[in-house]
C-alpha cells in the first residue's frame, strides 16, 4: 500500500474489473494511488527499478485487460489540483483573451471541462462527457464534436522513464495526430500504433513519458463555436455559429447519453472508485442501488478508430453514400476519414449484434463493444475479431482497435 490507499478493500484485492469502464480484468499485483507529486514519481521509479510491468491508469475507459492476474504495478494518480496560472492576456485585436489553466494528471476529465465552462472559458466544451483523466486526454488526443485535446494544449509536464527526470514538452513536441501523440507512440516498437499488428515496446502498457500535469490555453469567453452538423442540429444552430459554451456542453452530454457513450454512474458506487470524480455522478451512484445497470455503458467507448485512407482508396472501396471527411495521413498528405460506425453497420453488424450473448454491440451505438454483465476479455476479443473480419471482407479496410490491450 502507499499514500494511505490499500491494495485491498476488506479482504478483496483490487482488480481491473473494479477500475475499468468495461468492468473486465484480473486481479492486480500492487495497486497504488499516490496523493503527492513525489509519491507519484517514486511509484514509477520503484516499479521500473524492480523491472515490474507498470500500468499507469486514468479512468480505465480506453483499455481491455485479460482476466488473468496482472503481476505488476498499477498506479492511479490521485492528484487533482487545477490552477489558473495567469490573468487573461490579449490574443490580438478583436480576439478573445487567453487564459492558461494547469491541471494535474489525475483530474477527472469531465470535472475539468465542467470547471472551465463554469469559469467562463472556451476551448474544450465539445469534449464534455468523455470518460478518463486529464493525463489520459493528451496520451490519446481525445476528440469529439469538432474539438481535440491537442487544440487546447499549451504544454505537458512528464516524467521521462528513460532519462529519469521531469521534462516539459511543448505542444509541437507532443506530435499530436488523430487519436495519438508522442506519448502513445512510445508504447509500441517503432512508435507505430496505427497497425493492428503493433508490437509493445519495453515501456508497455504505459508510455515512456508519464504525464504529471497539463497546461491548457483556453479563451476567456462565455460562448463557443458549434463544431459539427450533429451538434448544430441538436442546438438548432448553424455550424460555426457562436452560442453559450454551457449550452454546447449540455447538448454534447445529451447526445452522448443518447448513444450510451457516457459512464454508467453506478461505477462510482464501487469503493475502488471512491474520490475519483467530484460531480453529480457520485450522487447518482448512491441512488442507483436496485436499479438495473446500463450495459450499453459497460464499454471502452469507441472501440475502433475511424480509418484514414487515401483519396484513391476511398474512391475504390467506399460506396457513394458513405460518410467522408477531410483528414491527413500520418505523412501529412491528403487523406479521407471514413466512419467506422457506418462501415460496421453496412457490413451487417447492427446495434445489439452478439456472438454469444455475453458481449455485444451497444443497442444504441455500433462503435461500442459492450460487456452485457458476464463477459470475459476473450468474449470481447472474439466479437471484435468477427467485426474486423467482416468489415475487411466487405470494404477491404482494416479497422484498428482504439483501446490498449493488456495481456491479450
Tell me how far apart the alpha carbons of residues 255 and 365 are, in angstroms, rounded to a whole number.
11
Neighbours of 196 (CB within 10 A): 10
Residue 242 pairs with which residues in a beta bridge?
A: 225
Looking at the fold, whether 274 and 376 belong to one and the same domain comes out as no
Is residue 335 in a domain?
yes
The domain boundary residue, chosen from 23, 51, 76: 76
User: 189 with 214, same domain?
Assistant: yes
Q: Is residue 299 part of a domain?
A: no
The reply to whether 113 and 166 lie within a common domain is yes
pLDDT in tens for each of the 408 residues of the chain? 344 455 655 446 799 999 999 999 999 999 999 999 999 999 999 999 999 999 999 999 999 999 999 999 999 999 999 999 986 666 667 777 899 999 999 999 999 999 999 999 999 999 999 999 999 999 999 999 999 999 999 999 999 999 999 999 999 999 998 889 999 999 998 755 455 557 899 999 999 999 999 999 999 999 999 999 999 999 999 999 999 999 999 999 999 999 988 888 888 888 898 888 875 554 554 454 556 788 999 999 899 999 999 999 999 999 999 999 888 887 889 999 999 999 999 999 999 999 999 999 999 999 999 999 999 999 999 999 999 999 999 999 999 999 999 999
- Is the domain of 286 the same as that of 224? no
Question: Do 16 and 146 belong together in one domain?
Answer: no
Indicate whether 114 and 216 sit together in one domain: yes
Beta-carbon contacts of residue 347 (< 8 Å; ≥ 6 apart): 387, 390, 391, 393, 394, 395
Count the domains in the chain.
4
Per-residue pLDDT at 12: 65
Q: What kind and span of H or E run contains 338?
A: strand 334-338
Q: Taking Cα atoms as reference points, which of 116, 47, 117, 125 lies closest to residue 84?
A: 116
Q: Is residue 377 part of a domain?
A: yes
Cα 57–Cα 58–Cα 59 angle in degrees, nearest 5: 120
Check if the beta carbon of residue 239 is closer than 8 Å to that of residue 70: no
Residues 118 and 180 occupy one common structural domain: yes
Instruction: Write down the number of H helices and E strands in the chain.
Output: 11, 22
Q: What is the pLDDT of residue 10?
A: 46
Domain limit, last residue, from 258, 284, 317: 258
CATH number for the domain that contains residue 371? 3.90.78.10
Nearest to 148 by CA among 156, 137, 158: 137
Which domain, by its residues, includes 344?
A: 308-406
3 state SS of 132: coil
Whether residue 298 is contained in a domain is answered as no
Half-sphere exposure at residue 264, Cβ-oriented, CA atoms within 13 angstroms: 27
Q: Tell whether the torsion through CA atoms of 247, 252, 253 and 258 is positive or negative.
A: positive
Identify whether residues 327 and 381 lie together within a single domain: yes
Query: Which set of grid coordinates corresponds to residue 151?
Result: 487544440
Residues 51 and 152 grouped into a single domain = no
Q: Are residues 65 and 100 in the same domain?
A: no
Cell numbers linked to 121: 472559458
Q: Is residue 1 included in any domain, yes or no?
A: no
**The model's pTM:** 0.90
Give the pLDDT confidence score for residue 334 in this predicted structure: 93
- Its sign, for the CA torsion 297, 299, 300, 306, is negative
Just list the catalytic residues: 179, 302, 402
Q: From 307, 306, 305, 309, select the one nearest 334 (Cα to Cα).
A: 309
With respect to residue 219, please indicate whether it lies within any of the assigned structural domains.
yes
300 in any annotated domain: no
Check which CATH number belongs to the domain holding 101 and give it: 3.30.465.10
Residues 206 and 228 in one domain: yes
Complete edge-to-edge strand list for the sheet that includes strand 308-309: 308-309, 334-338, 324-328
| Residues 228 and 326 placed together within one structural domain of the fold | no
Question: Quick check: is 302 in a domain?
Answer: no
pLDDT at 302: 92
Give the H or E element holding residue 286: helix 280-286
- Main-chain dihedrals φ then ψ at residue 384, nearest 5 degrees: -60, -40
Q: What CATH number is associated with residue 65? A: 3.30.43.10
Amino acid at each position: 500500500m502507499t499514500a494511505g490507499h490499500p491494495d485491498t478493500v476488506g479482504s478483496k484485492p483490487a482488480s481491473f474489473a473494479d477500475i475499468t469502464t468495461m468492468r473486465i480484468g484480473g486481479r492486480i499485483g500492487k495497486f497504488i494511488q499516490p496523493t503527492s507529486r513525489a509519491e507519484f514519481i517514486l511509484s514509477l521509479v520503484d516499479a521500473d527499478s524492480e523491472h515490474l510491468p507498470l500500468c499507469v491508469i486514468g479512468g480505465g475507459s480506453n483499455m481491455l485487460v485479460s482476466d488473468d492476474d496482472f503481476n505488476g504495478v498499477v498506479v492511479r494518480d490521485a492528484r487533482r489540483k487545477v490552477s489558473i496560472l495567469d490573468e487573461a492576456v490579449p490574443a490580438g485585436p478583436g480576439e478573445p483573451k487567453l487564459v492558461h489553466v494547469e491541471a494535474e494528471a489525475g483530474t477527472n476529465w469531465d470535472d475539468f471541462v465542467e470547471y472551465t465552462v463554469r469559469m467562463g472559458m472556451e476551448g474544450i466544451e465539445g469534449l464534455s462527457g468523455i470518460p478518463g483523466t486529464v493525463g489520459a486526454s493528451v496520451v490519446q488526443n481525445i476528440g469529439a464534436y469538432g474539438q481535440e485535446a491537442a487544440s487546447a494544449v499549451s504544454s505537458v509536464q512528464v516524467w521521462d522513464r528513460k532519462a529519469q527526470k521531469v521534462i516539459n514538452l511543448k505542444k509541437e513536441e507532443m506530435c499530436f495526430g488523430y487519436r495519438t501523440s508522442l506519448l502513445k507512440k512510445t508504447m509500441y516498437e517503432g512508435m507505430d500504433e496505427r497497425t493492428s499488428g503493433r508490437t509493445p515496446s519495453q515501456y508497455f502498457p504505459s508510455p515512456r513519458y508519464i504525464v504529471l500535469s497539463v497546461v491548457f490555453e483556453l479563451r476567456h469567453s462565455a460562448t463557443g463555436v458549434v463544431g459539427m452538423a450533429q451538434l448544430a442540429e441538436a442546438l438548432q444552430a448553424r455550424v460555426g455559429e457562436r452560442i453559450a459554451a454551457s449550452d454546447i456542453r449540455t447538448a454534447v452530454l445529451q447526445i452522448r447519453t443518447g448513444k450510451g457513450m457516457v459512464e454508467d454512474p453506478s461505477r462510482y458506487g464501487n469503493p475502488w472508485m471512491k474520490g475519483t470524480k467530484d460531480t453529480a455522478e457520485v450522487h447518482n451512484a448512491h441512488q442507483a442501488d436496485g436499479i438495473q445497470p446500463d450495459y450499453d455503458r459497460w464499454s471502452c467507448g469507441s472501440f475502433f478508430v475511424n480509418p484514414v485512407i487515401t483519396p484513391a482508396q476511398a474512391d475504390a472501396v467506399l460506396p457513394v453514400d458513405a460518410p467522408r471527411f477531410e483528414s491527413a495521413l500520418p505523412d501529412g498528405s491528403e487523406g479521407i476519414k471514413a466512419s467506422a460506425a457506418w462501415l460496421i453497420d453496412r457490413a451487417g453488424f447492427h446495434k445489439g449484434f452478439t456472438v454469444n450473448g455475453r458481449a455485444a454491440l451497444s443497442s444504441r451505438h455500433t462503435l461500442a463493444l459492450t460487456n452485457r454483465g458476464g463477459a470475459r476479455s476473450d468474449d470481447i476479443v472474439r466479437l471484435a475479431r468477427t467485426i474486423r473480419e467482416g468489415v475487411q471482407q466487405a470494404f477491404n479496410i482494416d479497422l484498428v482497435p482504439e483501446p490498449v490491450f493488456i495481456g491479450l
